[in-house]
Amino acid sequence: MKRILFSLLVFAVYAAANTCTEAYFQTLKPIFIQAENSLYIDSTHYIDELVFMDDTLRQHKYTKFIYENGRLQKYKFGYVVDSAEVRKQLEEESDSDSSSEINLFSDIDSILNSMTTYATFIWSNDESILSGDGDEELLSDSTWGDTTYIHRKCYYNGDLFQEMRYKYTSSYIYNFDIDHDIYEESLSEVFFRNDSIILKSEDNFSYVVGDPNDDSKCYAYANNSLFKTFVYQKNDKGFSIRTTAGNNVSETFMIDPKKQTLSIHKRRVPVKISPKARYFDLLGRYKFTK
């Protein structure tokens, strides 16, 4: 199968959001731990513009996250394309690469029962328990005071190819990334202050500020130019953040267990690419090409 690493930088947090910037910051924290009574990610939906035969078409990508005992165990993903021609093109590309796997669906309703499971998340430091077959990840975590630490190691067929160390609090995120294939290291940080977000890495700097007239909207700027718009919307389960960047759209859905508990009590109802190709995070943001 294709060795694709999605850099999971979408996270669960500890308080309900009141503004767009606060909600967006919460989606940037690591998703691996579903802490008791804290927000956690449920699913994502991306809409990417595709160009085929001079026509602009749309491809929908869905991801569902699955937790067990408060720990991320796996996530599943699938695609919906709105054109028979694009479907045929993608199937032909998949067939041309024997190591390739791709899920294509003609309608959204078929997604839930037909998703592909990506990677296996194992909460341990013991490499001897790896099967050595396909994508596997070892994760470990610890907490000191108000800071949570996560160590993540990514393997393909038993070989370590990427390693990440996360550190985060209620207003700060740190990510140190080591690519063992090309011996490259990178560091990124996110700061949440005064209802604004600052994102910085070795070669990038951007910031997110709220709309002064609408708490449900906020905007991302780089080099003093607007490049993303966010819309925050509360719902019965928690909230969602919709991101628009040009013609590409993504939406992340977060669940708030506390909100569900209150809602349940009130309503009196029962409870509910190639091995060295591209790296994306789960909000569809391009990282780098190896």
Higher pLDDT, 218 or 1: 218
Q: Give a yes or no: residue 211 inside a domain.
A: no
Q: Give a yes or no: residue 250 inside a domain.
A: yes
Q: Give a yes or no: residue 213 inside a domain.
A: no
Residues 8-22, mean pLDDT to the nearest whole number: 56
Q: Give a yes or no: residue 51 inside a domain.
A: yes
Share of the chain above pLDDT 70, in %: 64
Residues 232-244, mean pLDDT to the nearest whole number: 91
Domain tally, the chain: 1
Q: Give a yes or no: residue 255 inside a domain.
A: yes
Query: How far apart, in whole angstroms, are the C-alpha atoms of residue 91 and residue 102?
Result: 8
Q: Give a yes or no: residue 83 inside a domain.
A: yes
What would the pLDDT profile of 169-226 be if each residue is shown by its tens digit? 989 999 999 999 888 999 999 999 989 999 999 889 999 999 999 999 999 999 989 9
Whether the per-residue pLDDT at 84 is higher than 80: the answer is no
What would the pLDDT profile of 88-133 be if each residue is shown by its tens digit? 666 666 555 544 455 555 555 566 566 676 677 899 999 999 999 8
Q: Give a yes or no: residue 217 inside a domain.
A: no
What would the pLDDT profile of 35-45 be if each residue is shown by its tens digit? 555 677 888 88
Query: How far apart, in whole angstroms, are the C-alpha atoms of residue 119 and residue 73?
Result: 9
Whether the per-residue pLDDT at 287 is higher than 60: the answer is no
pLDDT of residue 14: 34
